[in-house]
Amino acid sequence: MGKAELPLHAPGTRVDKGYIGQSVPRPNAKRLLQGRGAFVDDLRFPRLAHVAFFRSPHAHARIKRLDFGNALKSAGVIDVFDGRAVAEYCTPWVGVLAHLKGIKSPPQHAIAIERACWQGEAVAAVVAESRTQAEDAVDLIDADWEELPAVLDMDEALSGRCVIHPELGDNICFKREHDTGGVDEAFAKADLVVEETYRFGRHTGVCLEGRSILADYNAAEHTLTVHHSTQAPHMMQDVFSRHLGIPEANVRVIARDVGGSFGIKVHVYPDEMATAALSVMLRRPVKFVADRLESFLTDIHAREHKVTIRLACSKDGEILAFDLDDLSAIGPYSVYPRTSGIEGNQVVNLTGGPYKHQKYRAKLNVVFTNKNVTCQYRAVGHPIAVALTEGIVDLAAQNLKMDPAEFRRRNLIPDDAYPYTFPSGVKFEKLSHHQCLDQLLGLMNYASLRKEQADLRGRNIFRGIGLAAMIEVTNPSPAFYGVGGARISAQDGATLRLEPTGMVTVMCSVTEQGQGTEGIFAQIAASAVGVSMDKVRVITGDTGVTPYGGGTWASRGAGIGGEAVLLAGRALLSNILDVASKVLNLEKETLDIENNAIVDKLTQEKKMPLEELGRITYFRPDILPLDFQAELTVTRHYTPREYAFTFTNGIQASLVEVDTDTGFVKLLKHWCVEDSGTVINPMLVDEQLRGGVAEGIGAALYEECLYSPEGQLLNGNMADYVVPMSGEIPDIVCAHIETPTRQSQLGAKGVGEAGTAGAPGAVMNAINDALAPLGARVTAMPFTPERILRALGRIA
């Protein structure tokens, strides 16, 4: 795959000189390539203590007795604490938000008190001189349990026969109904009604770096510094402050290198809160790094849904209505502070998203169970909504004997229909479904693939082609969390400073987890100011240093943080030119910055290097006019407010071959056409898409957290929980349409989640397309060989 063909600047956007649209390598990648990064577990502190947790072996049980006697005597142990002891330093929380009407969840403690509600919930903490010693002592804790009935099945939970939290009355965390009206009428007059039930396996993020936190409390200052593998440092600063009773200004959260996050590291985890509390209690730094087994038991899981969807359409293939019933299980608590209601809510918002039908009805029930908690994992709700929609759309096309690409073409919202309000209530600024579809079909050579498929079928080779069109939430406004009362910033800020040497330092509240945030900020800053990229240094992930902001989630880093950097860069340019105008005694309007120097705007004649301007500003301001003060540090912020979300769109295609004897699916190729507005760095965008597609492929084919009937996680390790490795993932072809958002100068929309959102649906449709001549269909992810053989009737 070569470098993507893209215009240097997105058409129609006002873009500054330089690097925007170019595939420049990320400057910050070099330290990682040499193993010289600074992940939390790489940091070294004097008097560092290590915590290991004693976790519930039961899905639901009362803690009758905890005996720490032997553990306390174990070598290197500093202390052992139960939930009550930690609760004196850390208040409980409740994962609800006001705009999710009726959502409920009980208070959750850092360490469980009285009762454990899932296998893996921490019930005691052992602090020792080393992690090994802490783990040794965990094994010596003696506990008596009274097992309680565990609710594991979603339907069982919904029935309310056994209620996990009796004080809540039932097991329903959140429910929502949405109805445009006219749905029954649309179904009554439809020529074709198709209905199907889809199941999605609960799976998880499997970041290669486990969750990591090193909390360092300074008793003299009553300050807490937390080195944290997190996506949202300011949110965590607020949470630590609020629940540990330390003034917010005294809490500093530093997220240096983060080894993958994907939404896993944007939530409040009880064991991490306990670690921070233990640092306060013991007045010394305490570290917790989740090992792989703990990660499977306690990193948020996601996407356990069972959904029945119906589609009504006319005989010439016009979709008239969708009707949806989604049941989703989230474990025993709604996760704080984003809640576990958002995923299902997104399914309601997004189902049917690319299409122009007007009638829509949806019902959602989100229930508590005694498994690990679920919450927002990359693409939140989108993989479900896309797979449902695209699965039922393909089924309708198949019934009408219509080509699935043609069926989509008839129903996709026209490219000139914007702005557009979708029947679920969400608003689209401008999308490009038809352009994307056309580009995809050309890119993959759809017609000849269909021909090849037909030829191969004659030779008993079963290939399938699957399409998945989608919409995606990016650049969220405060409508996502802030309006519900969460102290999660939808705004981000950037500070730019011209240094005396002519270097530009960028400090931004959006964080870096490998997606290339720091790289694109360097590109934007260099372009806006007029310097070369080697003159830019970017600092992120430190609440003590950067402006306040939301961090990295919901595909917002480039669109929101990038805009803040652009605005700050332009302001810095203007301020630099003010200084230059005084020093050179020339009109500001005649000057510009080009290639690290003040130049004449028209002739590009070099007037003064920036380092000379820096020298004068900082060391010889005596030669500047008395009534002039140079300001070479500027801060700008940005929040999208015009639209609740800046929707993007895209379409993916998957080509698979199914071995009907073994049930194995071979992925032959995958295509992805995405419209994420202005593309700042095509190379980074493509790798984001590919990584996302790989996660989506994992969900479609391999990944599921399997629980026993007793609520024991059966495959909580990397040998038994299968993730895609290099041999499984095919080459992935990416291409772009660029429809910049008009809400910002930069025009960038988000792209980080698109791959994950669309891939499962595309793969599912490809498999079903391959199986169609055999009369078989699969609808329960992941599509394991066993499930495929069962669908084929090869096994019972």
Smallest gap from Cβ 378 to another protein, in A, equals 10
CB 208 → ligand FES: shortest distance, Å?
4
**Of all residues in the chain, what percent are helix, strand and coil, respectively (each to 5)?**
30, 25, 45
For ligand FES, which residue has the nearest CB? Answer: 208
Q: Which CB, 205 or 391, lies closer to ligand FES?
A: 205
Query: What sign results for the dihedral spanned by CA atoms 740, 742, 747, 751?
Result: negative
For the CB of residue 540, give the shortest distance to ligand FES in the complex, in Å.
17
Pick one of another protein, ligand FES, none as the site partner of residue 719 (Cβ within 5 to 8 A by kind): another protein
Q: Under 8 Å CB-to-CB from 495, ≥6 apart: which residues?
A: 506, 507, 508, 546, 547, 568, 633, 634, 635
CA-to-CA distance for 586 and 588, rounded, in angstroms?
A: 6
Measure the N-to-C terminal CA separation of the chain; round to a whole number of Å.
Answer: 43
CB of 170 to another protein, least distance (A): 37
Binding site for another protein (CB under 8 A): 1, 25-26, 29-37, 39, 41-42, 44, 132, 205-210, 257-262, 291-292, 513-516, 683-684, 687-695, 717-719, 723, 725-727, 729, 731-732, 755
Residue in the structure block whose two tokens are 């097991």 = 171
514 binds ligand FES (CB under 6 A): yes
Closest to ligand FES by CB, 26 or 556? 26
- Least separation in angstroms between CB 666 and another protein: 13
Nearer to another protein, 239 or 699 (CB): 699
- Pair 212, 289: CB distance under 8 Å: yes
Report the Cα 329 to chain-centroid distance in Å: 20
- The CA distance from 266 to 376, in Å, is 8
> Peptide bond before 476: cis, by omega within 30 degrees of 0?
no
Q: CB under 5 to 8 A by kind: which of ligand FES, another protein, none does 787 bind? A: none
Say how many C-beta atoms besides its own lie within 10 A of residue 604's C-beta. Answer: 11
The entry of ligand FES, another protein, none that residue 35 binds, CB within 5 to 8 Å by partner kind: another protein
Q: How near is the Cβ of 257 to ligand FES at its closest, in Å?
A: 10
Place of tokens 């004449």: 600
Question: Which is closer to another protein, CB of 755 or CB of 761?
Answer: 755
Q: CB under 5 to 8 A by kind: which of ligand FES, another protein, none does 687 bind? A: another protein
Q: Which residues of 335-355 are buried (b: 16+ CB within 10 A; e: fewer)?
A: bbbbbbbbbbbbbbbbbbbbb
The binding track of 719-758 with respect to ligand FES, each residue x by CB under 6 A or -, is: ----------------------------------------
| 140 versus 207: smaller Cβ distance to another protein | 207
* Beta carbons of 120 and 370 less than 8 angstroms apart: no
> β-pairing, 427-428 with 420-421?
antiparallel
Q: Which is nearer to another protein, 209 or 674 (CB)?
A: 209
Is the Cβ of residue 260 or residue 730 nearer to ligand FES in the bound state? 260
41 binds, among ligand FES, another protein, none (CB under 5 to 8 A by kind): another protein
Nearest CA to 753 among 689, 659, 687, 708?
689
CB 591 within 8 A of CB 607: yes
Preceding amide of 149 cis, omega within 30:
no
Q: How far is the CB of 44 from ligand FES (least distance, A)?
A: 20
- List 658's β-bridge partners, or say none: 462, 665
211/787 with CB nearer ligand FES: 211
Tokens linked to 621: 């301001």
Q: What are phi and psi of 586, to 5 degrees?
A: -130, 155
Q: Cβ(635)–Cβ(495) under 8 Å?
A: yes
Both tokens of residue 12?
A: 């129609």
* Residue 662 binds which of another protein, ligand FES, none (CB < 5-8 A, kind-dependent): none
Distance of closest approach, residue 209 Cβ to ligand FES, in angstroms = 8
Q: Give least dist CB 756 to another protein, A.
A: 11
SS (HEC) of 357-400: CCEEEEEEEEECCCCCCECCCCCCCHHHHHHHHHHHHHHHHHHC
Q: Which is nearer to another protein, 328 or 688 (CB)?
A: 688
Q: Which is nearer to ligand FES, 404 or 752 (CB)?
A: 752
Which CB atom, from 111 or from 258, has the smaller least distance to ligand FES? 258
In eight-state DSSP terms, residue 561 is I
Q: Which of residues 208-227 bind ligand FES (CB under 6 A)?
A: 208
DSSP string, 722-737: ----TTTPPPEEEEEE
Contact between residue 82 and residue 124 where contact means Cβ atoms under 8 Å apart? yes
Of ligand FES, another protein, none, which one sits near residue 147, judging by CB under 5 to 8 A according to partner kind? none
Q: Which of another protein, ligand FES, none binds 723 (CB below 5-8 Å, type-dependent)?
A: another protein
CB of 258 to ligand FES, least distance (A): 9
Nearest distance, CB of residue 344 and another protein, angstroms: 25
3-state secondary structure of 670: strand
Nearer to ligand FES, 27 or 57 (CB): 27
Tokens coding 465: 């082609």
Assigned token pair, 67: 């005996």
Beta bridge mates, 302: 203
**Total site size for ligand FES, rule CB under 6 A:** 3
Q: Which of 288, 387, 500 is nearest to 766 (CA)?
A: 387
With CB under 5 to 8 Å by kind, the binding choice for 684 among another protein, ligand FES, none is another protein
Whichever of 59 and 520 has its CB closer to another protein, that residue is: 520
Q: Residue 515 Cβ, how far from another protein at the closest point, in Å?
A: 6
Cα diameter, the chain: 89
CB of 504 to another protein, least distance (A): 22
Question: Which of another protein, ligand FES, none has residue 603 at its interface (CB below 5 to 8 Å by kind)?
Answer: none
User: Among residues 295 and 543, whose Cβ is nearest to another protein?
Assistant: 295
Site string for ligand FES, 287-316 (x = CB under 6 A): ------------------------------
Q: Which partner, ligand FES, another protein, none, binds residue 72 by CB below 5 to 8 Å per kind?
A: none
Which positions lie near ligand FES, rule CB under 6 A?
208, 260, 514
